[in-house]
């Protein structure tokens, strides 16, 4: 295996290249995540350094990837990042890795509004990755061949290298499948061993809360998958090396990071650093507000920790910082925390109170999908006319005061109210949009923090 990798590296003209592939599915629920996690775990058990990726805006699956691989999983999303952003994120992440594994999203051809935009197929084509298609073959034999043929021929620019068969019932079942499928079969996973992961209202539990047995999962894939063949078929992907910062560290930005606030695109944090920010991580659940020039409060599950957030000293400290004019940016869970309260069936819990409104938890999904916003009001995050692209996913609504001011007008998505997002007060802005920082420059946010420090 090491010899094969050395041959791949030497074929790239001195630039280090590694095997890379994308695991896709015929549709959601076929076992992509289980297969991906198992393959990553099996490769790690072999002593390889695995760089994980996830197609789309999801925060949950990457947390599992990161926990298994010991390397931060990165999102690859052409709608939010642009094609060049996908290439940039992918290549810059490969430094020091032995193999790259990309987990797809939904069905391989499923993209935004029935197009290929944001689909696994689009990402595979942008990066030139070979694809292994996961097929749930429960209750099928020859019909699986029809599925395989249709997916292989639908878009021949997608390099469908072979299949991974999930829910195989028996050796006889597998023999029937082998007799009719045309593409190579790289794994045949038995029905009884697929792992079930506990659900939560926003998806699966986070990687740091995992209750599944990664060692058993790795052994399962090692036993039932042709891992050496998977590595040998992978096309080489070349690393562009680590991105260099544009300048020296000039500001300190606090990043809320704990069980309540855990939804961040890795590239967002790296982009802040690249633009000159020193990132100071802290927990609003337990810590005092650190000595910083600005705050970035991402999404997560503040409602699950509302009592602790209410009693934490950071709550009042952030309120005072907001009133003092500190640039503060909150996304979804951050918006909820920056409001006055979170109201649930179990009661009402006081939050920061930096923004004029409060959150009401809902039993039904309030918003799900891509969002795009135009900046129409002065704010510390992005300049007038800039376009922010991202994603919404929440089970809550935010009730604003009548005289509330908004900085973002949505061309796509729901936002806080009637197509408006980016609620503003002082130098604090919060919205339901999880924006990707490749869609606009964070230079203004860095500058706002620098100006605050000079006060």
Out of 177, 209, 238, a domain closes at 238
Any idea which of 139-143, 195-199, 284-288 has the lowest mean pLDDT?
Answer: 195-199
Mean pLDDT of 221-236: 87
Same-domain status, 384 and 421? yes
- For the stretch 61-80, pLDDT in tens is 999 999 999 999 999 999 99
Out of 172, 203, 238, a domain closes at 238
Q: How many domains does the chain have?
A: 2
Same-domain status, 199 and 86? yes
Residue 2 is assigned to a structural domain of this protein: no
Out of 194, 216, 238, a domain closes at 238
Same-domain status, 342 and 282? yes
* Domain extent for 437: 251-453
Alpha helices in 227-368 (DSSP H): 227-233, 266-274, 306-311, 314-323, 333-338
- pLDDT > 70? residue 85: yes
The fraction of the chain above a pLDDT of 90, given in percent, is 85
Q: What is the pLDDT of residue 209?
A: 47
- pLDDT > 90? residue 455: no
Same-domain status, 220 and 263? no
3-state SS track over 101-128: EEECCCCCCCCHHHCCCCCHHHHHHHHC
Enter the pTM of the model.
0.91
Residue 3 is assigned to a structural domain of this protein: no
Pick the residue with more confidence: 249 or 301?
Answer: 301
Pick the residue with more confidence: 236 or 17?
Answer: 17
Residue 246 is assigned to a structural domain of this protein: no
Q: What is the pLDDT of residue 390?
A: 98
Euclidean distance between the first and final Cα of the chain, in Å?
Answer: 58
Same-domain status, 303 and 182? no
- For the stretch 348-396, pLDDT in tens is 999 999 999 999 999 999 999 999 999 999 999 999 999 999 999 999 9
Residue with tokens 């961040």: 264
Q: What are the structure tokens assigned to 165, written together?
A: 């068969």
Q: What is the pLDDT of residue 212?
A: 62
Same-domain status, 103 and 220? yes
Q: What is the pLDDT of residue 8?
A: 40
Q: CATH number, domain at 339?
A: 3.40.50.880
Same-domain status, 367 and 287? yes
The fraction of the chain above a pLDDT of 70, given in percent, is 89
Same-domain status, 92 and 232? yes
Q: Is 332 designated active site?
A: yes
Mean pLDDT of 409-416: 96
Same-domain status, 150 and 118? yes
Same-domain status, 288 and 419? yes
- For residue 188, give Cα distances in angstroms to 227, 258, 302: 12, 38, 41
Buried b (16+ CB within 10 A) or exposed e, 202-234: bebbbbeebebebeebbbbbbebbbbeebbebb
CA nearest neighbour of 104 among 120, 117, 88, 116: 120
- For the stretch 187-204, pLDDT in tens is 999 986 445 444 333 344
Same-domain status, 233 and 263? no
- pLDDT > 80? residue 427: yes
> Which of the residues 17, 69, 262, 332 is marked catalytic?
332
Mean pLDDT of 403-429: 96
Q: How far apart are CA 243 and CA 74, in angstroms?
A: 15
- For the stretch 5-61, pLDDT in tens is 433 443 444 445 789 999 999 999 999 999 999 999 999 999 999 999 999 999 999
């Amino acid at each position: 295996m090491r010899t094969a990798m050395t041959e791949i590296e030497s074929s790239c003209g001195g630039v280090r290249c590694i095997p890379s592939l994308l695991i896709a599915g015929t549709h959601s629920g076929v076992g992509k995540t289980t297969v991906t996690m198992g393959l990553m775990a099996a490769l790690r058990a072999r002593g390889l350094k695995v760089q994980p990726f996830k197609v789309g805006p999801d925060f949950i699956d990457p947390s599992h990837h990161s926990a298994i691989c010991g390397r931060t999983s990165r999102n690859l999303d052409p709608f939010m990042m642009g094609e060049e952003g996908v290439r940039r994120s992918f290549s810059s992440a490969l430094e020091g890795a032995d193999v790259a594994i990309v987990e797809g999203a939904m069905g391989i051809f499923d993209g935004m509004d029935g197009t290929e935009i944001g689909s696994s197929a689009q990402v595979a084509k942008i990066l030139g990755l070979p694809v292994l298609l996961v097929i749930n073959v429960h209750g099928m034999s020859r019909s699986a061949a029809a599925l395989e043929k249709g997916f292989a021929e639908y878009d021949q620019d997608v390099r469908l290298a072979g299949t991974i068969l999930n829910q195989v019932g028996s050796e006889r079942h597998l023999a029937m499948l082998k007799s009719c499928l045309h593409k190579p079969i790289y794994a045949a996973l038995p029905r009884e061993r697929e792992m079930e992961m506990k659900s939560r209202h926003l998806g699966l539990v986070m990687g740091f809360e995992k209750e599944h047995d990664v060692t058993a999962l790795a052994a399962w894939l090692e036993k039932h998958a042709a891992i050496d063949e998977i590595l040998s078929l992978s096309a080489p992907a070349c690393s562009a090396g680590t991105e260099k910062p544009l300048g020296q560290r000039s500001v300190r930005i606090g990043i809320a990071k704990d069980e309540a606030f855990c939804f961040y695109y890795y590239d967002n944090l790296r982009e802040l650093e690249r633009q000159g920010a020193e990132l100071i991580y802290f927990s609003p659940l337990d810590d005092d507000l650190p000595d910083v020039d600005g705050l970035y409060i991402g999404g997560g599950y503040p409602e699950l920790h509302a009592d602790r957030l209410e009693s934490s000293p950071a709550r009042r400290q952030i309120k005072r910082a907001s009133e003092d004019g500190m640039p503060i940016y909150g996304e979804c869970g951050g918006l909820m925390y920056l409001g006055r309260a979170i109201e649930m069936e179990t009661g009402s819990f006081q939050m920061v109170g930096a923004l004029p409104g409060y959150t009401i938890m809902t039993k039904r999904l309030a918003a799900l999908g891509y969002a795009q916003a135009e900046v129409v009001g002065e704010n510390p995050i992005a300049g007038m006319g800039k376009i922010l692209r991202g994603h919404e996913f929440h089970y809550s609504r935010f009730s604003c005061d009548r005289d509330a001011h908004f900085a973002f007008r949505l061309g796509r998505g729901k936002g806080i109210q009637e197509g408006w997002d980016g609620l503003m007060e002082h130098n604090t802005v919060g919205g339901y949009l999880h924006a990707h920082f490749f869609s606009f420059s964070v230079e203004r946010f860095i500058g706002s923090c620098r100006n605050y420090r000079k006060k």
